[in-house]
Amino acid sequence: MSASTEDLDSEGFENEADNVTDIGSVKRRDTLARSTDTKIRMSGQERREQLLTVGRKLFAEKGFEAVSVEEIASTAKVSKPVVYEHFGGKEGLYAVLVDREMNYLLNSFEKALSGSNPRLLLEQAGMALFDYIDEYPDGFRILVRDSPVSQSNSTFASLIVDVATQVEHLLANEFAAHKMDKKLARMYSQMLVGMVALTGQWWLDVRKPKKDEVVAHLVNLAWNGLAGMEAKPELLMRKR
């Protein structure tokens, strides 16, 4: 099946090259032939990554429902059977994208939540999210959009629950140290993570102020509270 679908990819180029008759078009014909060869030689993994790149951009711009297999294939300059061969349809391609973005962001959070200083941990977690939004806006747009029913367990909301669970353990230790009820840690972790996540969604489009400044103000509110907020908060991690 692979050979036939890749042949379908190159059919248009082959026909166009065969119809070239004037001498002045020989160079262009040779270029088309090389383009055809390149397509045929593309490995399955390379084709898969190409389709994922195209799908990420389209889903980020339009959402899942508005994107069709035809559009994915057309943008990637392949035939529809190629998309079905690699992913079984747009649902399969979307699922792979969501899983990749979820795993990447969750790993970023896990790496950030290391250390013993609670305020630094809060800063690091906030920066992990905003660094991701800054570097991979298309991936974040896919995560925060409504997922199809088949992907109900792979949503941004479920990711936030995972992160909040990790934060809960950290807060529980702090609550115990300050002789507070550890049972409240779960509620407070949801508050903190939800505040950061919603602010990230807002910042995705506005991009002002700079991410460092936004995270500093988030930490300012979370750490000092409305009654004790600093006039010009700064990140401790940036003072090192």
Percent of the chain with pLDDT over 90: 44
The answer to which of 51-65, 137-151, 217-231 has the lowest mean pLDDT is 137-151
Q: Classify residue 151 by burial, with Cβ atoms within 10 Å: 0-12, 13-18, 19+.
A: middle
Helices and strands, number each (H, E), in the chain: 11, 0
The domain 2-88 is classified under which CATH number: 2.160.20.10, 1.10.150.20, 2.40.37.10, 1.10.10.60? 1.10.10.60
- Could you report the per-residue pLDDT of 114-165, keeping only the tens digit for each? 777 888 888 998 999 999 999 999 999 998 876 664 455 556 777 788 888 8
Mean pLDDT of 8-16: 39
- For position 30, what pLDDT does the model report? 44
Q: How far apart are the first and last CA of the chain?
A: 57
- Could you report the per-residue pLDDT of 146-160, keeping only the tens digit for each? 666 445 555 677 778
Range list for CATH 1.10.357 in the chain: 97-238
d(C-alpha 31, C-alpha 199), whole Å: 49
Between 230 and 83, whose confidence is greater? 83
Domain at 97-238: CATH code: 1.10.357
Range list for CATH 1.10.10.60 in the chain: 2-88
Q: Classify residue 23 by burial, with Cβ atoms within 10 Å: 0-12, 13-18, 19+.
A: exposed
Mean pLDDT of 209-222: 95
